[in-house]
Chain A
Amino acid sequence: MKELRMILKKEFIHIFRDTITLALVLAMPIALVLLFGFTISTDIRNAKISVLDQSKDTQSKTLVNQLSASGYFQVVSYPHNELEIDDDFKNKGIKLAIIIPPNFEENLSKEGNATLQVINDVSDLNVASILNNYVRAVVQRYTADYNDNSSRGSAFDITVKMLYNPESNSVYMFVPGIITLIMVLVTALLSSITLAREKETGTMRMLLITPVKKIYIIVGKVIPYMIISFISTIAILVISVTVFKMPINGSLLMLLFLCIIFMLTAASFGMLISSISRTQVDAMMITMMGLFLPTVLLSGFLFPLNSMPMVFQVLANIFPAKWFILAIKDVMIKGSGFFDIWLYLLILFVMAVVFIIFSLSRLDKRN
């Protein structure tokens, strides 16, 4: 045990004497949360639109009023023909145009349906599809109101209840993602780089020919970075809760336990990487390609897994991040407890054990 304490002490000396890296590691999570929180928002307000109202009757005006009253849209221009709509897209920066054809009210009352044309700027696909959904929602409500007023009675009503995230707040989506990224970066990347550095400078050989147990070398490497990453995680949670009003619906203890298990998995993945890489550059490249990219792309953090080709959905299973994001979302947003997420915990834990066993066997390989 004296050896382990000494290795830990040495590791902390490395960390505290490298002040730039330390500052970066502690500041990065906070910067990331603030950046994502304030800039990357999928909620759009006051998008500029044009309306070409060719019927100019009561109903068409009601519809336009409802559109601008929704808060999603701001009608900046009323063009007179379709050519002018084209100009608006180019010169007034509108994202969407709506054309209400002639005889809107008449068609609605006599034939029971009317058409509406929506023109989108799809140079930004995400914005376009979000705005489309907003239009759909407004028109749906308008139709419902119209049917009520004209006492026709609608065939059915759709009532949507938004569970867990009633305001569709995008903060809910990326806080778990950022926690994952930070833990992967700090624990896996940093611990694998420092272990690779010991190989590169030859200090690893010096350590290996001492009688010290290999598991101490590994554990001594991992614990300091787990502690730092734990501090970062707490910082992210505090900011998410105070600045962005992110709820923690499950138990805080459960959440922290889950984070510790994932840190263990990430750190052991880092050990695995450094056991197969010879230099720091190797370790960095392998972590980036083998862990960081899959964490961003294949975890369901930014891109939904369900819409990916089958190959990637299957591939995602072998990366720890997918399981952690599933679990942390359940705990933070749905308020799940241990018995809801035990399977995810087990998967993460088994991964950690496998990684550690493999890297221990690699570390002492003598050929």
Chain B
Amino acid sequence: MSVSAISIKGVNKTYEGKIEALKDINLDVEEGEVFGLVGPDGAGKSTLFNILTTLLLPDSGQIKVFLMDAVRDYKSIRQIIGYLPGTFSLYPDLSVQENLDFFAVMYKSDIEENMSLIEPIWKQISPFKDRKAGKLSGGMKQKLALCCALIHRPSILFLDEPTTGVDPVSRKEFWDILKSIRQQNITVVVSTPYMDEATRCDRIALIQDGRIIGINPPQTFINNFKGKLYTFKSENIFSLLKVMEQCPLNCNYYPYGEHCHVAFYEDMQEALPKFEAFLQEHHQTYETITPIDPSVEDCFIEIVTHSN
């Protein structure tokens, strides 16, 4: 049996005695996997990251990073982790090269030695190495931050919402980079509010209101989806939302981008005609209702609604 890279047992964290940021968190991250922490803003992702990176103490519970205790052995943990915070946290008045040099020395690391690890990323930003870090584009900033976080060849890399505020092309690029980092035998823990990115992780933990509501590979979440999911286009999503409150069927309706999703928990032979009749009865105009495969977001919504 392989050693867990991270093992978290019963962790709680309350801010200022009132705000419960984390409630009884239990999870394990296997060595060498890309583990995603998926949940909306304010779910507690960053708090959990701060605790894992030993910047914050939990109120209770136990955290082990490669068998080291996050409270007691925080100094040893700091030697083996890389951290990319949610906001750009390099020196904007230092050049790209100066930032990298600085963090290399802070981590007692040698740039030459670890160049092989960061080379694919560094190649993309090295044309701008004399530019001040503050003058880089959002995607470039993230790549530089990633280089700085990897320069000491950490065993675990923590990425707190690395793709928030980054354009879709750079986001895709960034995930490709994460895959290549994983091939270097570095465990990656990444948080994201974007459910569509979750499928690129080996396993994900869904987190909502400080609680973990499920840990599985993304495909398992999708396979475990209980309802039968249909999608259709409606002309007035908001009036539909109101009307659906009176729907007699056992179903869950929610807007999904430009579309509407309905998950039914009934026998579809009877339910679908009933549903169409219901919509017509309430003067809702819609286009064809078609079945669709659930995404991680659908799974998240199903779990959240069912736990309420």
Q: Which segment, of B101-109, B245-253, B271-279, B293-301, faces chain A? A: B101-109
Q: Which segment, of A97-105, A199-207, A241-249, A338-346, faces chain B? A: A199-207
B179 within 8 A of A: no
Which of B53, B55, B79, B92 has the largest number of chain A CB atoms within 10 A?
B55
B119 within 8 A of A: no
Chain B interface mostly: loop
What is the minimal beta-carbon distance from B188 to any residue of chain A, in angstroms? 16
Q: Inside 8 A of A211's CB, which chain B residues have their CB?
A: 75, 78-79, 106-108
A366 in contact with B54 (CB, 8 Å):
yes
Q: How many residues of chain A have a CB within 8 Å of chain B?
A: 21
A152 within 8 A of B: no
B78-110: CB near A (< 8 Å → 1, else 0) gives 110101010111111110001001110111100
Q: Inside 8 A of A209's CB, which chain B residues have their CB?
A: 53-55, 78, 81, 83
A205 in contact with B108 (CB, 8 Å):
no
- CB < 8 Å: which of B92, B98, B106 contacts A210? B106
Which of A2, A6, A203, A209 has the largest number of chain B CB atoms within 10 A?
A209
Chain A interface mostly: helix
A13 in contact with B55 (CB, 8 Å):
no
Q: Inside 8 A of B79's CB, which chain A residues have their CB?
A: 211
B90 in contact with A366 (CB, 8 Å):
no
Q: Inside 8 A of B98's CB, which chain A residues have their CB?
A: 10, 13
B89 in contact with A202 (CB, 8 Å):
yes
B57 in contact with A206 (CB, 8 Å):
no
A18 in contact with B56 (CB, 8 Å):
no
What is the minimal beta-carbon distance from B210 to any residue of chain A, in angstroms? 17
A367 within 8 A of B: yes
Using A10-B102, A209-B83, A211-B107 as known contacts, say yes or no to A17 and B78 having CB atoms under 8 A apart: no
A14 within 8 A of B: yes
Q: Inside 8 A of A10's CB, which chain B residues have their CB?
A: 91, 94, 98, 102
Query: In the complex, A212 Cα to B103 Cα: how many Å?
Result: 10
A205 in contact with B106 (CB, 8 Å):
no
The 5 closest A-B pairs by CB, nearest first: A202-B89, A210-B106, A6-B105, A366-B57, A212-B106
State the A residues within 8 Å of B (CB): 2-3, 6, 10, 13-14, 17-18, 201-203, 205-212, 366-367
Beyond A3-B106, A206-B83, A206-B103, 15 additional pairs, beta carbon < 8 A: A2-B105, A3-B105, A6-B106, A10-B91, A13-B93, A14-B91, A203-B89, A206-B85, A206-B89, A207-B106, A208-B55, A209-B54, A211-B75, A211-B79, A211-B107
